[in-house]
Structure 1
Amino acid sequence: MNFAHIINPVQVKATSDLFVAQPVTFESMARARQNGAALAQVTLLTAQYPEDRDIIPEWYVQTPDLIESVLDKTSFRKERKLPIMRHILDRLYDGTAEDTDYLIYSNADIALMPFFYEAIAKIIEQGYDAFVINRRTISKDFTQPEELPLMYAEVGKKHPGFDCFVFRRSLYPQFILGDACLGANWIGRVLIVNLMAFANKFRVFEQAHLTFHLGDDRSWRNPDFADYDAFNRQALITIIHQLLEKPHVQQKPEVVHFFQEILKRDLKYGVDPQQQREQEQTPFLPKLTLWIRKVLHKLAERMARKLGK
């Protein structure tokens, strides 16, 4: 079985969490590839800007440098040179041979357990052609790749974030990714809706101890960069609508329902802005009371229907 796994390394200052996390990721990927050699041949790749080449270890294949960023698509209050996800995955697809079975993308701060690729091979044997591995969060007290054995030993806590994606290479040409960028909210859902749309058997593995992250600072929640989140939000809305137009997607009622739930519940698409603001400003107890009333109302309706029969 042949895998190709890409990440997007970036040169950062010592104050960034990536300064510690990326070397750990680099070393963990090398160890996982070595440990999984009996079951899978793994090619490790990077997609990088020219200024980021110096930090990339020799065991990675460097794909052609990224040229554009999200800054080439629109303007933002504070400039961040964030890559467009489509450009990273294009390099992953174009940089691999046709006999590559599965492609893997993970964030540059996501480290792998030593048996990662072996587990991936076993999951694929169960018939999955696309899946997501949710990470576990461990202590951020670790600072060196030499501490990896101790990191492996820490079970950590489950995390709901989506940051490791595995899919059959043949699926990728169908993906609709727009210009959604890495490093902002909603990017995980951009990938998930594509995996769900085009895979025959898909799953999110929420409990698997296969990847981990040092700490949980959630720097992506910085309000200074909310306009990047808004950019990705609009991209996701457009992508979902385009996917819902696909005839094969329309034949998957559970996928259609999930997409509609994302639009309504998560993206608040179609919700009156004034109503949304009022809901967000409503204190917790009134919200709870309103929810209880709705539940009781639904129960009363059901009882009335039964009595009517």
Structure 2
Amino acid sequence: MRKIAHIVNPVVVDQASDLYVAQPITFETMKTAKKFAAGEVAVDLLTAQFPEDRALVPDGFHLTPNLERSVLDFGVFQKKRKLPLLVDILDRLYAATDAEYCIYTNVDIAVQPHFYVAVNALIEKGYDAFVINRRTVEAVYSSPAEIPLMYAEVGEKHPGYDCFVFRRDVYPNYQLDRVCLGILWIDDILIWNLVCRAQNFSVFRKLHLTFHLGDSQTWLKQKYSDYYAHNREAARRALAVLERTHGPLQEIDGFAQNALGVEYAKQLLREEESAETQLKVMKRRLKKRQEMQRMKNGEGAGEMKNAEERQ
């Protein structure tokens, strides 16, 4: 029986944070999906957390050793946010399990009951690294008791990357630098590594396997532009190492399906614009993309044409 290990990073937050509602839902759906997979897939549920966040972790999860450093150890920021480094989380995942495959998701990403069974089925089809794009459901729910209703929502497609599946044995070769969670570029760096070490990589954009409540986009706020700048520099360093080893990323087969995204990311890394300016541009691009998606979902061909003309 194949074993899969899945890690998240829980954090104690106040009631004003989206994570206050989202995390208990994530934990419960992960445990439900593990039960659903019993007898077909062995699943390890793990967490990587700071000492002050241990009490939040529910039964059924294996706590890896506490995180000992954060992005605050590598820079001075206007608003102090104790954001963990991705490498510290994935290092703990690698050390804590002997699973053949590993999964990393953001802690606000809930999963469908058949999630692990479906992941295993994709592996059986020959994919050795892949990303599953989430569905966005309405942010009208507030309790794990409402999870059946969340399961029932089709939701809307979302372009971002927040669920990553990869072979454990290739992880020691990953180049993650000091990129931190909660800020742009973390998904780019991780997906670059998946592709570089995969034999058969894919992005699954239409599978209804994960979901997120609402789309607040806190990672685009200007007040966090210095964290964006930190992650952008980490991305530059990681990209340089990967391309020295593997050649230009756009020439790797796995990037063919995501060529525009790669080229845009590399363009941002080359430019010397301020982090504030880049965040504004990215926010406008995302807004246009979401507008186009709403039009495609049936809000009128005429409106869709007008939106296309504004691109």
Greater Rg over alpha carbons, structure: 1
Amino acid of the structure 1 residue aligned with 2:176: L
Q: Say yes or no: does 1:17 pair with 2:29.
A: no
Deviations 1:77-133 (A, max 9, x none): 111000000000000000012xx1100010110000000001001000011110001
Deviations 1:7-50 (A, max 9, x none): 00000001111000000001000000000112200010000000
1:253 Cα deviation from its structure 2 partner: 4.1
Aligned pairs for 1:84-123 within 5 A: 84-97=85-98, 100-123=99-122
In structure 2, the partner of 1:130 is: 129
In structure 2, the partner of 1:167 is: 166
Q: Say yes or no: does 1:68 pair with 2:75.
A: no
TM-score, normalisation: structure 2 = 0.83
1:256 Cα deviation from its structure 2 partner: 7.7
1:238 Cα deviation from its structure 2 partner: 1.4
Q: Say yes or no: does 1:8 pair with 2:9.
A: yes
Distance 1:148 1:234 in 2: 39
Amino acid of the structure 2 residue aligned with 1:228: Y
In structure 2, the partner of 1:270 is: 270
1:247 Cα deviation from its structure 2 partner: 4.6
Q: Say yes or no: does 1:151 pair with 2:170.
A: no
Tell me, which stretches of 5 or more residues in structure 2 are unaligned? Answer: 286-308
Aligned pairs for 1:232-243 within 5 A: 232-243=231-242
Distance 2:250 2:78 in 1: 42
Amino acid of the structure 2 residue aligned with 1:30: K
Amino acid of the structure 1 residue aligned with 2:245: K
TM-score, normalisation: structure 1 = 0.84
In structure 2, the partner of 1:41 is: 42
Aligned pairs for 1:212-227 within 5 A: 212-227=211-226
SS, match of residue 131 in structure 1: strand
Distance 1:228 1:258 in 2: 29
Tell me, which stretches of 5 or more residues in structure 1 are unaligned? Answer: 285-291, 293-309
Distance 1:242 1:262 in 2: 19
Deviations 1:51-74 (A, max 9, x none): 001111011000000010000011
SS, match of residue 6 in structure 1: strand
Paired residues of 2:180 and 2:186 also in contact (CA < 8 A): yes
In structure 2, the CA distance between the partners of 1:78 and 1:115, relative to structure 1 (3 Å rule), is same
SS, match of residue 177 in structure 2: coil
Distance 1:192 1:138 in 2: 24
In structure 1, the partner of 2:32 is: 31
Deviations 1:219-277 (A, max 9, x none): 11111001111111111111111111115778954468899966752342334659xx7
Distance 1:65 1:207 in 2: 36
Deviations 1:140-160 (A, max 9, x none): 111111111111000000101
Distance 1:71 1:127 in 2: 40
Amino acid of the structure 2 residue aligned with 1:94: A
In structure 2, the CA distance between the partners of 1:270 and 1:52, relative to structure 1 (3 Å rule), is closer
Matched positions, count: 278
User: Percent of aligned positions with the same letter in both sequences?
Assistant: 47
In structure 1, the partner of 2:195 is: 196
Paired residues of 1:237 and 1:263 also in contact (CA < 8 A): no
SS, match of residue 211 in structure 2: strand
